[in-house]
Amino acid sequence: MFRSALACVSKPTGLTAGPMMNQKRGVQIFMNKAILIGNVGSDVKEFETKNGKMRATFPLATSNRYKDKEGNTLEQTSWHRIALGSTLAERAMRIIQKGAVVQVEGSIRYYTFTNKDGVEVNGSEINGSSFQVLSFPKRKTDEEGQDEDHTAEINTENS
Protein backbone atom coordinates (compact mmCIF):
# COMPACT_ATOMS: atom_id res chain seq x y z
CA MET A 1 0.00 0.00 0.00
CA PHE A 2 2.78 2.45 0.89
CA ARG A 3 4.61 1.68 -2.35
CA SER A 4 1.53 2.54 -4.38
CA ALA A 5 1.10 5.78 -2.42
CA LEU A 6 4.72 6.70 -3.02
CA ALA A 7 4.42 5.86 -6.71
CA CYS A 8 1.70 8.50 -7.01
CA VAL A 9 3.99 11.25 -5.71
CA SER A 10 5.36 13.19 -8.64
CA LYS A 11 9.09 13.51 -8.94
CA PRO A 12 10.54 17.03 -9.08
CA THR A 13 11.15 18.28 -12.57
CA GLY A 14 14.16 20.23 -13.73
CA LEU A 15 16.67 18.40 -11.54
CA THR A 16 19.20 16.31 -13.34
CA ALA A 17 22.19 14.44 -12.08
CA GLY A 18 25.18 16.45 -13.13
CA PRO A 19 28.00 18.56 -11.79
CA MET A 20 25.64 20.91 -9.86
CA MET A 21 23.95 18.04 -8.00
CA ASN A 22 27.26 16.88 -6.52
CA GLN A 23 28.27 20.28 -5.12
CA LYS A 24 27.62 21.09 -1.49
CA ARG A 25 25.78 24.32 -0.85
CA GLY A 26 27.36 26.85 1.45
CA VAL A 27 24.17 27.86 3.26
CA GLN A 28 24.75 28.65 6.93
CA ILE A 29 22.05 29.76 9.31
CA PHE A 30 22.81 31.11 12.78
CA MET A 31 20.55 32.30 15.57
CA ASN A 32 21.39 33.81 18.94
CA LYS A 33 18.12 34.66 20.68
CA ALA A 34 17.04 34.54 24.30
CA ILE A 35 13.57 35.20 25.67
CA LEU A 36 13.35 35.44 29.46
CA ILE A 37 10.51 36.20 31.86
CA GLY A 38 11.49 36.83 35.45
CA ASN A 39 11.69 39.08 38.47
CA VAL A 40 13.90 42.17 38.49
CA GLY A 41 16.40 41.83 41.35
CA SER A 42 17.39 45.50 41.78
CA ASP A 43 16.68 48.90 40.29
CA VAL A 44 18.18 49.60 36.87
CA LYS A 45 21.73 50.99 36.89
CA GLU A 46 22.72 53.36 34.10
CA PHE A 47 26.27 54.08 32.95
CA GLU A 48 28.14 55.60 30.02
CA THR A 49 30.42 53.47 27.83
CA LYS A 50 33.90 54.49 26.65
CA ASN A 51 32.24 55.51 23.36
CA GLY A 52 29.93 57.91 25.21
CA LYS A 53 26.79 55.79 24.72
CA MET A 54 24.31 55.19 27.52
CA ARG A 55 23.78 51.62 28.75
CA ALA A 56 21.63 50.19 31.52
CA THR A 57 21.85 46.90 33.37
CA PHE A 58 19.73 45.01 35.87
CA PRO A 59 19.63 41.47 37.25
CA LEU A 60 16.73 39.21 36.26
CA ALA A 61 15.85 36.03 38.18
CA THR A 62 14.21 33.12 36.37
CA SER A 63 13.07 29.96 38.13
CA ASN A 64 12.66 26.33 37.16
CA ARG A 65 10.42 24.13 39.33
CA TYR A 66 10.79 20.37 39.39
CA LYS A 67 10.05 17.36 41.60
CA ASP A 68 12.73 15.26 43.24
CA LYS A 69 12.63 11.46 43.71
CA GLU A 70 10.45 11.82 46.81
CA GLY A 71 7.93 14.03 45.01
CA ASN A 72 8.96 17.26 46.73
CA THR A 73 8.71 20.37 44.59
CA LEU A 74 12.08 22.11 44.32
CA GLU A 75 12.94 25.40 42.69
CA GLN A 76 16.18 26.37 41.00
CA THR A 77 16.71 30.10 40.42
CA SER A 78 19.12 31.45 37.80
CA TRP A 79 20.28 35.06 37.68
CA HIS A 80 20.86 36.81 34.37
CA ARG A 81 22.55 40.14 33.71
CA ILE A 82 20.39 42.17 31.32
CA ALA A 83 22.09 44.96 29.34
CA LEU A 84 20.19 47.56 27.33
CA GLY A 85 21.56 50.20 24.99
CA SER A 86 20.72 53.87 24.36
CA THR A 87 16.96 54.38 23.90
CA LEU A 88 16.02 51.18 25.73
CA ALA A 89 18.30 52.16 28.61
CA GLU A 90 16.53 55.50 29.02
CA ARG A 91 13.09 53.88 28.99
CA ALA A 92 14.14 51.13 31.39
CA MET A 93 15.41 53.74 33.87
CA ARG A 94 11.94 55.31 33.86
CA ILE A 95 9.72 52.23 34.21
CA ILE A 96 11.59 49.14 35.48
CA GLN A 97 11.85 48.78 39.26
CA LYS A 98 13.04 46.09 41.63
CA GLY A 99 10.33 43.45 42.00
CA ALA A 100 8.75 43.98 38.57
CA VAL A 101 8.06 40.97 36.36
CA VAL A 102 9.66 41.63 32.97
CA GLN A 103 9.93 39.83 29.65
CA VAL A 104 13.21 40.51 27.85
CA GLU A 105 14.21 39.47 24.35
CA GLY A 106 17.77 39.71 23.13
CA SER A 107 20.96 37.85 22.33
CA ILE A 108 23.44 36.12 24.62
CA ARG A 109 26.88 37.72 24.84
CA TYR A 110 29.91 36.18 26.54
CA TYR A 111 32.85 38.30 27.68
CA THR A 112 36.06 38.19 29.68
CA PHE A 113 37.47 40.91 31.93
CA THR A 114 40.19 41.30 34.53
CA ASN A 115 38.89 42.19 37.99
CA LYS A 116 40.56 44.54 40.49
CA ASP A 117 42.58 41.61 41.92
CA GLY A 118 44.07 40.88 38.49
CA VAL A 119 42.04 37.70 38.01
CA GLU A 120 40.51 37.02 34.60
CA VAL A 121 36.75 36.50 34.94
CA ASN A 122 34.29 35.11 32.39
CA GLY A 123 30.79 36.52 32.25
CA SER A 124 27.65 36.55 30.18
CA GLU A 125 24.76 38.91 29.63
CA ILE A 126 21.57 39.20 27.64
CA ASN A 127 21.96 42.11 25.23
CA GLY A 128 18.32 43.19 25.22
CA SER A 129 16.59 44.19 21.99
CA SER A 130 13.13 44.64 23.57
CA PHE A 131 11.39 44.39 26.90
CA GLN A 132 7.89 44.39 28.30
CA VAL A 133 6.87 44.98 31.90
CA LEU A 134 4.29 42.29 32.73
CA SER A 135 3.58 43.44 36.28
CA PHE A 136 4.82 46.22 38.49
CA PRO A 137 5.89 45.78 42.11
CA LYS A 138 3.44 46.55 44.87
CA ARG A 139 4.03 49.67 46.91
CA LYS A 140 2.75 50.95 50.24
CA THR A 141 -0.02 53.54 49.85
CA ASP A 142 -1.05 54.40 53.39
CA GLU A 143 0.05 54.13 57.01
CA GLU A 144 -2.00 50.96 57.56
CA GLY A 145 0.34 49.09 55.23
CA GLN A 146 -2.17 48.16 52.55
CA ASP A 147 -0.59 47.37 49.21
CA GLU A 148 -1.83 48.76 45.95
CA ASP A 149 -0.68 47.88 42.45
CA HIS A 150 1.55 50.50 40.89
CA THR A 151 -0.13 51.54 37.66
CA ALA A 152 1.82 52.59 34.61
CA GLU A 153 1.82 51.88 30.94
CA ILE A 154 3.08 48.44 29.96
CA ASN A 155 5.65 49.07 27.30
CA THR A 156 7.53 47.10 24.65
CA GLU A 157 10.50 48.87 23.13
CA ASN A 158 12.80 48.03 20.24
CA SER A 159 16.22 49.56 19.81
- What pTM did the predictor assign? 0.68
> Is there a domain that residue 11 lies in?
no
- Domain of residue 102 covers 34-158
Average pLDDT estimate for 52-78: 96
| pLDDT beyond 60 at 1 | no
pLDDT per residue over 118-145, tens digit each? 999 999 999 999 999 999 988 755 444 4
> Is there a domain that residue 65 lies in?
yes
> Is there a domain that residue 111 lies in?
yes
> Is there a domain that residue 21 lies in?
no
| pLDDT beyond 80 at 59 | yes
Average pLDDT estimate for 94-109: 97
> Is there a domain that residue 93 lies in?
yes
Of residues 25 and 133, the one with the higher pLDDT is 133
The pLDDT score that the predictor gives to residue 138 is: 82
The pLDDT score that the predictor gives to residue 146 is: 44
The pLDDT score that the predictor gives to residue 94 is: 95
> Is there a domain that residue 71 lies in?
yes
Q: How many domains does the chain have?
A: 1
Could you tell me the CATH number of the domain that includes residue 120?
A: 2.40.50.140
> Is there a domain that residue 13 lies in?
no
One-letter-per-residue 3-state SS of the chain:
CHHHHHHHCCCCCCCCCCHHHHCCCCCCCCCCCEEEEEEECCCCEEEECCCCCEEEEEEEEEEEEEECCCCCEEEEEEEEEEEEEHHHHHHHHHHCCCCCEEEEEEEEEEEEEECCCCCEEEEEEEEEEEEEEEECCEEECCCCCCEEECCCCCCEEEC
Across the chain, mean pLDDT equals 82
